[in-house]
Amino acid sequence: MEYIECAFKGISPSTGEMLVALLSNMAFDTFHEEDGQLMAYIAEADWNTEVQAEMEAISAQFGCQFSYVHIADKNWNEEWEKNFPHIVVDEQCLIRAPFHHIDKKYPYTITIEPRMSFGTGHHASTFLMIRRMLQMDFKGKKVCDAGSGTGILAIMAVMLGADHVFALDNNEWAFNNSLDNIAMNGVADKVHIELGEMEMLEGKRFDVLLANINRNVLVQYMPQLELALEQQGELVLSGVLTADMQHILDAAAAQGLQLTQHLQLEEWSCAAFSHP
């Protein structure tokens, strides 16, 4: 599949969050934000002059510069190899790509073929999710990774002792990327992943629920997240700017969830809630 890469330059973190929320409701399915620039990806088949005109109008609305280029699928991994360094979380977890050769040993090593999926550890929200998970007890737990991206959180949960992980993502590219990464890390026997929306949580219950998505989706689906959590279960959320955390806190409180920890890195937050 070939993609169109749309670049929105000169944006603040809060503008980036709003753009992602807006574009997520269109045909855009993958995003990468770095150094005041948001890259949004849409399948070439979904790109036309009307979408281009709408992107130009949106960039004018947000006061940022807009440009787009055609991206060939075959070149993507090569670009990642040039720009994708390994990551170490709290000297406990190494997140590497297959092309990294790391001599130092860490308690946990996750290998991720990044492609175009969100969740490589480089974004502060993913880093914070891993940091929180390293503090938790997963032994024998039933876990859900909602919005799995690369599958990194599902993989981490199994490595930390989870008995079974149900993962889901509504993006076909991310779904296929997760399948590959889960197999590559040797945890396919304990992770079941499906392609679909958050409604797939209905009728399921988990000891731990992980969701690294964005503010709007988390607020919208907070009732479903609460219903999918076992009593005494733990909900860990990220993908939210610290400036927007009150929206998450209010939505969680409305469902009777209690905040147990709030982590911050750069402009981003991760929050853990308990189900009393």
Per-residue pLDDT tens over the stretch 62-92? 999 999 999 876 555 555 555 667 889 999 9
Check which CATH number belongs to the domain holding 7 and give it. Answer: 3.30.70.790
Same domain, 129 and 20: no
Rg (CA), the chain: 18
Contact between 275 and 234 (Cβ < 8 Å): yes
**Which residues of the chain are modeled with pLDDT < 70?**
1, 73-84, 114-122
Cα–Cα dist 238/271, whole Å:
7
177 and 252, same domain (yes or no): yes
pLDDT at 276: 83
Same domain, 127 and 249: yes
Distance (Å, whole) CA 103 – CA 81: 18
> CB–CB of 94/106 below 8 Å?
yes
Whether 263 maps to a domain, the answer reads: yes
Number of domains the chain is built from: 2
Cα angle for residues 166, 171, 172 (degrees, 5° grid): 90
**Cα 251–255–257 angle (5° rounding)?**
90
Same domain, 125 and 64: no
The neighbour count for residue 255, using CB atoms within 10 Å, is 16
Q: What is the pLDDT of residue 115?
A: 62
Q: Residue 170: which residues within 8 A CB-CB, separation 6 or more?
A: 147, 195, 196, 197
Token representation of residue 51:
């979408």
Q: Is the pTM of this model over 0.75?
A: yes
Both tokens assigned to 70: 């055609």
CB 181 within 8 A of CB 150: yes
The answer to whether residue 95 is domain-embedded is: no
- 177 with 254, same domain: the answer is yes
Give the single-character DSSP code of 42. E
Q: Is the residue at 97 inside a domain?
A: no
189 domain residue, yes or no: yes
Q: Print the domain residue range for 218.
A: 121-274
Per-residue pLDDT of 234-246, as tens digits, reads 999 998 888 889 9
| DSSP type of residue 134 | H
Are residues 17 and 149 located together in one domain of the fold? no
Q: Residue 133: what pLDDT? A: 98
Examine the domain organization and report whether 134 and 34 are in the same domain. Answer: no
Q: Are residues 137 and 238 located together in one domain of the fold?
A: yes
Query: Please, what is the angle between helix 172-184 and helix 152-159, to 10°?
Result: 30
> Which of these, 136, 135, 197, lies nearest to 172 by C-alpha position?
197
pLDDT of the residue at 237: 98
Q: Enter the tokens of residue 87.
A: 């990551």
